[in-house]
A and B are shown apart, each in its own frame.
Chain A
Amino acid sequence: MIKPVVIVVGNGMVGYKFCEKLRAKSADFEIIVFGEEPRRAYDRVHLSEYFAGKTAEDLSMSTATWYAENNITLHLGDPITEIIRSTKTINSQKGIVLKYDYLIMATGSAAFVPNLPGVEKDGVFVYRTIEDLDLMKAWAAKSTSGAIMGGGLLGLEAAKALIDLGIKETHVIEFAPRLMPRQIDSAGSAILQQKLATFGLTVHLNKNTSYIAGDHKIEALKFNDDTELPLDMLVISAGIRPRDELAKLCGLEVGLRGGIVVNQSLQTSDPSIYAIGECALYDQMIYGLIAPGYEMAEVVAANLCNAQKQFNGFDMSTKLKLIGVDVASFGDAFITEPDCRTIIFEDTHKGVYKRINISNDGKQLLGGILIGDAEAYSMLLQTVNNKIVLPPNPEDLILGSRGGAAAEGAGVMNLPDEALVCSCEAVTKGDICSAVIEQDITTIDGMKKCTKAGTGCGGCIPMVKDIITGTLKENGKYIKNVICEHFDYSRQELLDLIRINKIKTYDQVLDTFGKGDGCENCKPPIASMLAGLWNEVILKQDTIQDSNDRYLANIQKGGTYSVVPRIPGGEITADKLIVIGQVAKEYNLYTKITGGQRIDLFGAHVMDLPAIWEKLIDAGFESGHAYGKSLRTVKSCVGSTWCRFGLHDSVSFAIEIENRYKGLRSPHKLKGGVSGCVRECAEAQAKDFGIIATEKGWNLYICGNGGSKPQHAQLLATDIDEATCIQYLDRFLMFYIKTADTLTRTATWLNKMDGGMAYLKNVIVNDSLGICQSLEEEIAGLIKGYVCEWKEVVDNQNLKKKFNHFVNAPNEKDPSIKFEPLREQKQAAAW
């Protein structure tokens, strides 16, 4: 059988996507691609990441072998120069002559360069291809100021590129009175402008450039209001121009302002020639976004395979992160009263602007704009596209529910099955649900592979996650909290198995109860269980520890570590403070007081850690376990020793408790606090355990935490003496260590517990399970077995040897580590 020949003109994102889609549908076509650029199709949407460190290969849409594997012939650096429609033949620049059955024009667009005197000067660039980027990069190395002409979506992307290139002074020049005039309104633009200013970007609106001044190379921009802006470089991003010259040459119909005219099937005026992407003009419109381009590729691929599919225009809603600022625009963003009603929320303090346009009867959402916080975008877009009836208080959509029960996440499962969730890859809610139900896909990675949802711009990923979880719940699937793919047990089950079977090493645990070779998800929790059960120095099995536990320090940006000596209760002598100062000075460390009343020393090279600790240990310090899932600090107020209100000696009690539980390995970090009176200066009620002095003794609170979801600790016992307090704490901590899931703080552990605080109180205070004696014995064993991990290292030459960056050059530091000055100290270089 002779296969029909499909020739694709152009190898951009849409051309590539067309090949992918056609090949997925049928093997019965011979596909030949001609591209003008020297490399395989790459991701132009994320072009600015090229300057943020991605390579051309990283940006590539496919692997090097993809075309061959899919039996597609690819001619790079060889544009088609002529189409002879009468004989259905093409000629390429390098002289290839081929006959086609179908020709797909995917020639994309070029940067539009206005006819401005001086555009030919050196230092003037366009922003379109990797070659353009390489030219910019070379020039930027000797430039300190630069500007983008055009404040649209692409222009702001280009501005990010200039910032990433290290241009100190970056300007954006826009002819219109606002930024992104096609997507956002003036108020939104003002907020965006204010946000961008904090990143060092100066925006000039209402500016009409008259010419580019300079002798051969650009020196300044002159505006028609007689002002000027001195510049070293200029990037023009004033819009796009469809690449329709080849189409024009062979007599295809093109639009007045450019673009190859297509019908609903994306056929041009010649039925065997199709046009897709930014070169196609459908219904007087060029679609300059990636999602409609992909949709066009889908329509043509389907039609070639005899499926009836039509292109009916495309929703130009978009959400993106511009220089770190969320910007989204959806539905009819610009409709105004009296055709609709608008609800606007503006917060110039945080830089957030939200506008929704609703129908006059208050029932439908028509469109809107989000700046600074676009979390609600996916849900709002779905509400518009699926004509979901608005709640009685539509402002809740942008402000969240205030007062009353929050209906968080409940929304996604109410969407109809045909709701488009991933518009880049045209994946509906129904597709995702059926992948969960029929193919048992329960992870984002799996969903990406199975449906391609979330592989384009990635904006839909949170919603995809919610739909996966929602579907699982709706189908009554039991979501067992197994540790990872290698173990079919929860942490609690595995802990019991390890204890009962007296297993001492990770490999034994894996061989006995697991499968495969383990991973980063199961190694640290099992390491913590082994440490908790058998009390061995964690460095004996160092490679199953998370990096922080492996090096007994916290890895920080740039690859250096931070050092936190224990300062129990926050009490420290002048002599010890001096030693910390001397060590910091000797090793050039950045010092900061932590929230837990101790001192953190940042920027230590891994090879310096043993020497630093040797000096600290000599001065009487011990490891602070800031690197471990273990007891951090017991914060205290000064109490009755100095404070005129203090009832008891909170510092001494805090020190006693911190020393009692130091080194204890637990499912997550543990923090405590002791306050000397009800004024609560130690903020004990925000800790995993908090103790507050009363007239008659101490009140004990448990299961509070700060962090992302702050929660107050709850009262466990009142007016107890110190011995009882410690007894309850012993029971509480050991019960938590034995029953909580990995990485679950005490507050979350309690929230999930059936019966809640009443149950927990019964276990700890009334010994309702009859386990208190064994809990006390077990924790006593752990307390007795405590050793300072850093002392073990300092005393052991073999352990010390592990603290090198290069094993074959032990005295060399990692040369890639860089610092930047910060006030009188330093900080890690930006990544």
Chain B
Amino acid sequence: MTQTQWILACNTTDIPENGGACVKINDEQIAVFNFTRRGEWYATQNLCPHKKQMALSRGMIGSVGDTCEPKVACPFHKKTFSLLTGECLSGDECAIKTYSVKVIDGKVWIGV
């Protein structure tokens, strides 16, 4: 197994509260979500696999079910994906990549 490499992505203030924004890491587009309400951070691929649009970072986040699984909804056709597992929650068989995030001293780091 390869070692996780931590890359500095942005400042915490760059990502809106309870929302997301896109960062560019090694020519890859990664959506970073600041789930302020839960005090949690998530990162996924920015590409929505449904119609291949670079848009997930502009989607609304929220939760689903009794377990409050955190999710993001693509702004194009409202396909939703788990922020924990990347699994598509709208019944489609496509999943997205998720990344680990850590926040240290106001800086957001992404594990790739």
A residues bordering B, Cβ < 8 Å?
43, 53-54, 57-60, 444-445, 448, 455, 485-486, 507, 516-520, 522-524, 542-544, 546-548, 550-551, 555, 557-559, 802, 804-809, 812, 814, 816-817, 831
Q: Are B14 and A808 closer than 8 Å at their CB atoms?
A: yes
B43 at the interface (CB under 8 A from A): no
Residue of B nearest to A542 (CB): B16
Q: A808-B23, A809-B24 are in contact. Are A517 and B63 (CB under 8 A)?
A: yes
A36 to chain B, nearest CB (A): 23
Q: Are B24 and A806 closer than 8 Å at their CB atoms?
A: yes
One digit per residue, 1 when the CB lies within 8 angstroms of any chain A CB and 0 when it does not, for chain B 1-14 equals: 00000000110001
Q: Which of B54, B59, B91, B94 contacts A816 (CB 8 A)?
A: B54
Q: Are A543 and B19 closer than 8 Å at their CB atoms?
A: yes
A512 to chain B, nearest CB (A): 14
Q: Which of B14, B21, B53, B93 contacts A58 (CB 8 A)?
A: B93
Other than the known A58-B95, A455-B91, A519-B60, what 20 A-B pairs have Cβ atoms closer than 8 Å? A485-B64, A485-B65, A518-B37, A520-B59, A520-B73, A523-B60, A524-B60, A543-B17, A544-B60, A546-B60, A547-B75, A555-B58, A802-B16, A805-B54, A806-B22, A807-B32, A808-B9, A808-B24, A817-B54, A831-B52
Q: Which of B9, B18, B29, B38 contacts A543 (CB 8 A)?
A: B18
Q: From residue 13 to 60 of chain B, which have CB atoms closer than 8 A to chain A?
A: 14-24, 29, 32, 35, 37-38, 47, 49, 51-55, 58-60
Q: Which residues of B contact A807 (CB under 8 A)?
A: 10, 14-15, 21-23, 32
| C-alpha gap A523/B72 in the complex (Å) | 12
Q: Which residues of B contact A53 (CB under 8 A)?
A: 49, 52
| C-alpha gap A203/B53 in the complex (Å) | 34
Q: Which of A58, A59, A520, A557 contacts B62 (CB 8 A)?
A: A520
Q: Which residues of A contact B21 (CB under 8 A)?
A: 804, 807
Q: Are A444 and B64 closer than 8 Å at their CB atoms?
A: no
| C-alpha gap A616/B93 in the complex (Å) | 44
B51 to chain A, nearest CB (A): 5
Cross-chain pairs A/B with CB under 8 angstroms, 16 sampled: A60-B93, A444-B91, A517-B35, A517-B62, A518-B62, A518-B63, A520-B62, A524-B60, A550-B58, A555-B55, A806-B24, A807-B15, A807-B21, A807-B22, A807-B23, A817-B54
| C-alpha gap A543/B61 in the complex (Å) | 8
B residues bordering A, Cβ < 8 Å?
9-10, 14-24, 29, 32, 35, 37-38, 47, 49, 51-55, 58-65, 68, 70-71, 73, 75-76, 78, 80, 89-91, 93-95
Q: Which of A507, A517, A520, A812 contacts B68 (CB 8 A)?
A: A517
Q: A807-B22, A831-B53 are in contact. Are A445 and B29 (CB under 8 A)?
A: no
Q: Are B22 and A555 closer than 8 Å at their CB atoms?
A: no
| C-alpha gap A43/B94 in the complex (Å) | 13
Q: Which of B29, B47, B65, B75 contacts A555 (CB 8 A)?
A: B75
| C-alpha gap A517/B32 in the complex (Å) | 17
Q: Are A520 and B80 closer than 8 Å at their CB atoms?
A: yes
| C-alpha gap A530/B33 in the complex (Å) | 24
| C-alpha gap A616/B62 in the complex (Å) | 35
A685 to chain B, nearest CB (A): 33
| C-alpha gap A59/B18 in the complex (Å) | 33
B68 to chain A, nearest CB (A): 5
| C-alpha gap A555/B47 in the complex (Å) | 15
| C-alpha gap A802/B24 in the complex (Å) | 16
Q: Which residues of A contact B58 (CB under 8 A)?
A: 547, 550-551, 555
Residue of B nearest to A548 (CB): B75
A49 to chain B, nearest CB (A): 10
| C-alpha gap A806/B32 in the complex (Å) | 11
Residue of A nearest to B88 (CB): A58
Q: Are A543 and B55 closer than 8 Å at their CB atoms?
A: no
| C-alpha gap A287/B70 in the complex (Å) | 43
Q: Which residues of A contact B70 (CB under 8 A)?
A: 517
| C-alpha gap A802/B35 in the complex (Å) | 17
Residue of A nearest to B49 (CB): A58
A828 to chain B, nearest CB (A): 10
| C-alpha gap A161/B9 in the complex (Å) | 39
Residue of B nearest to A816 (CB): B54
Q: Which residues of A contact B63 (CB under 8 A)?
A: 486, 516-519
Q: Which residues of B contact A516 (CB under 8 A)?
A: 62-64, 68
Closest 4 CB pairs of A and B: A543-B19, A547-B75, A519-B62, A520-B73
Residue of A nearest to B92 (CB): A58
Q: Which residues of A contact B47 (CB under 8 A)?
A: 816
Residue of A nearest to B38 (CB): A517
Q: A518-B62, A520-B80 are in contact. Are A559 and B19 (CB under 8 A)?
A: no
Q: Are A58 and B94 closer than 8 Å at their CB atoms?
A: yes
Q: Are B22 and A519 closer than 8 Å at their CB atoms?
A: no
Q: Which residues of A contact B9 (CB under 8 A)?
A: 808
Q: Which residues of A contact B62 (CB under 8 A)?
A: 486, 516-520, 522-523
B35 to chain A, nearest CB (A): 7
Q: Which residues of B contact A816 (CB under 8 A)?
A: 29, 47, 54
Q: Are B53 and A559 closer than 8 Å at their CB atoms?
A: yes
B99 to chain A, nearest CB (A): 14
Q: Which residues of B contact A445 (CB under 8 A)?
A: 89-91
Q: Which residues of B contact A551 (CB under 8 A)?
A: 58
Residue of A nearest to B33 (CB): A543
Q: Which of B37, B70, B80 has the most C-beta atoms of chain A within 10 angstroms of its own C-beta? A: B37
Q: Are B59 and A547 closer than 8 Å at their CB atoms?
A: yes
| C-alpha gap A551/B22 in the complex (Å) | 14
| C-alpha gap A516/B95 in the complex (Å) | 23
B55 to chain A, nearest CB (A): 6
| C-alpha gap A474/B79 in the complex (Å) | 31
Q: Are B60 and A543 closer than 8 Å at their CB atoms?
A: yes
| C-alpha gap A210/B21 in the complex (Å) | 60
Q: A519-B63, A520-B59 are in contact. Are A555 and B19 (CB under 8 A)?
A: no
